[in-house]
Chain A
Amino acid sequence: MKTTRRMAMGLLAGAASLGLSMGAAQAQEDIVIGGSLPMTGVFAFAGISIEAGMSDYIKLVNDAGGIDGKMVRLAYEDTGYKVDQSVAVFNKLTSQEEIHLYYGDSTGFAKTIAPELVRKGSMIMGGASFASELNNPEAYPYAFIPGPDYTEMVNILLEYIAKEKPGASIALINSDTEFGRDPIAAAKARAAELGLDVVLEIITPPGSVDVSTEVLKLRRARPDYAISHGYILAPQPEFMSQAKALGLETKFMGTFWSMDSSLWKTVGETADGYMGVMPYRYYYDDADNAPMLDKIREMRPEYQSTGYMQGFLSAMLMVESAKRVLAEGKEMNGANLKAAMNTIKDFDTGGIMGLPISMPGNSIPVGRVYQFSAAEGKMLPVSDWINVE
Chain B
Amino acid sequence: MIIGTAKESYRADEALLTTQPQRVWMAIFLAALVALPFALNDYWLYLACLVAINVTAATGLNILTGFTGLVSLGHAAFMAVGAYTVAWAETRLGTPFFINLIAGGLVAAAFGILVGLPSLRVKGLYLAIATIAASFILHFCFIHFDGITGGATGINVPPLSIFGIELATYFRLYWVIMPITAVMVLGAANLFRTRIGRAFIAIRDRDISAEVLGIPLLRYKLMSFSIASFYAGMAGGLWAYFFRVVTPESFPLLTSIFLLAAIIVGGMGAIIGGIAGAIFMTLAPELLRFGMEWISPLVPNAGALLSPVRTVVFGALIVGFLIFEPQGLAEIIQRIRRYFRLWPFRT
Binding site for B on A (CB under 8 A): 1-9, 11-13, 15-16, 18-20, 22-23, 37, 39-40, 44, 48, 51-52, 76-78, 80, 83-85, 87-88, 91-92, 94-96, 108, 111-112, 115-116, 119, 133, 176-178, 180-182
Closest 7 CB pairs of A and B: A2-B25, A39-B307, A78-B307, A5-B29, A181-B152, A91-B43, A4-B333
Q: Report B275-316 CB contacts with A as 1/0, cut-off 8 Å.
A: 110010001011101100100000000011001101100000
Query: How many Å lie between the Cα of A84 and that of B156 in the bound state?
Result: 16
- Decide if B249 is an interface residue (CB 8 Å cutoff): yes
CA distance A1 to B257 in the complex (A): 26
Number of A-B contacts (CB under 8 A): 148
Identify 28 residue pairs between A and B in the complex whose beta-carbon atoms are under 8 Å apart, listed by A's number: A1-B17, A2-B24, A2-B337, A5-B25, A7-B336, A9-B29, A11-B279, A13-B32, A13-B39, A16-B44, A22-B293, A37-B303, A40-B311, A88-B47, A88-B50, A91-B170, A92-B43, A94-B42, A95-B43, A95-B44, A111-B245, A112-B243, A177-B152, A177-B249, A178-B154, A178-B247, A181-B151, A181-B152
Q: Do residues B21 and A2 form an inter-chain contact, with CB atoms below 8 A?
A: yes
Q: Least Cβ distance of A93 to chain B in Å?
A: 8
Query: How far, in angstroms, from A119 to B247 measured CA to CA in the complex?
Result: 22
Would A48 and B304 count as touching, CB distance under 8 A?
yes
CB < 8 Å neighbour of B249 from A4, A80, A108? A108
Q: B46 at the A/B interface (Cβ < 8 Å)?
A: yes
Nearest-Cβ distance from residue B59 to partner chain A, whole angstroms: 14
A84 to B307, CA, bound (A): 16
- Tell me if B123 is interfacial: C-beta within 8 Å of chain A: no
Minimum C-beta distance from A338 to chain B (A): 20
**A residues less than 8 Å from B17 (CB atoms):** 1
Residue of B nearest to A106 (CB): B249
Tell me, rounded to whole Å, the shortest Cβ–Cβ distance linking B255 to chain A: 9
Q: Are A108 and B247 in contact (CB under 8 A)?
A: yes
Interface of A is mostly: helix
**B327 an interface residue at 8 Å Cβ cutoff?**
no
Contact mask B35-67 → A, CB, 8 Å, 1/0? 010011111111110100000000000000000
Any A CB within 8 A of the CB of B184? no
Residues of chain B lying within 8 A (CB to CB) of residue A92: 43, 286, 289
How long is the Cα–Cα vector from A88 to B290 in the complex, in angstroms? 13
Structural contact, A16 and B40, CB atoms closer than 8 A = yes
Residues of B near A115 (CB, < 8 A) are: 159, 168, 244
Contacts of A7 in B (CB 8 A): 276, 333, 336
Contacts of A176 in B (CB 8 A): 143
B310 near A78 (CB under 8 angstroms)? Answer: yes
B145 at the interface (CB under 8 A from A): no
Let me know if B276 and A4 touch, CB within 8 A.
Answer: yes
Which of chain B's residues 4-49 have a Cβ closer than 8 Å to chain A? 16-17, 21-22, 24-26, 28-29, 32, 36, 39-48
- Within the complex, what minimum Cβ distance (angstroms) separates A39 from chain B? 4
Is B190 an interface position by the 8 A CB rule?
A: no
* CA gap between A115 and B337 in the complex, in Å: 44
Kindly provide the distance from the CB of B235 to the nearest chain A CB, expressed in whole angstroms: 13
Whether B42 contacts A95 by the Cβ 8 Å rule is yes
Q: Does B340 have its Cβ within 8 Å of any Cβ on chain A? A: yes
Decide if B272 is an interface residue (CB 8 Å cutoff): yes
Docked complex: B58-87 residues within 8 A CB-CB of A = none
Contacts of B41 in A (CB 8 A): 16, 19-20, 23, 95
Contacts of A16 in B (CB 8 A): 36, 39-41, 44
Q: A40 near B307 (CB under 8 angstroms)? A: yes
Whether, in the assembled complex, B248 has its beta carbon less than 8 Å from a beta carbon of chain A, the answer is yes
- Chain A min CB distance to B336 (Å): 5
Q: Are A80 and B290 in touch, CB under 8 angstroms?
A: no
Interface readout for B180-205 with A: 1 if CB under 8 Å, 0 if not?
Answer: 00000000000000000000000000
Partner of B25, one of A6, A19, A181: A6
Instruction: Point out the residues of chain B lying under 8 angstroms from A180, CB to CB.
Output: 152
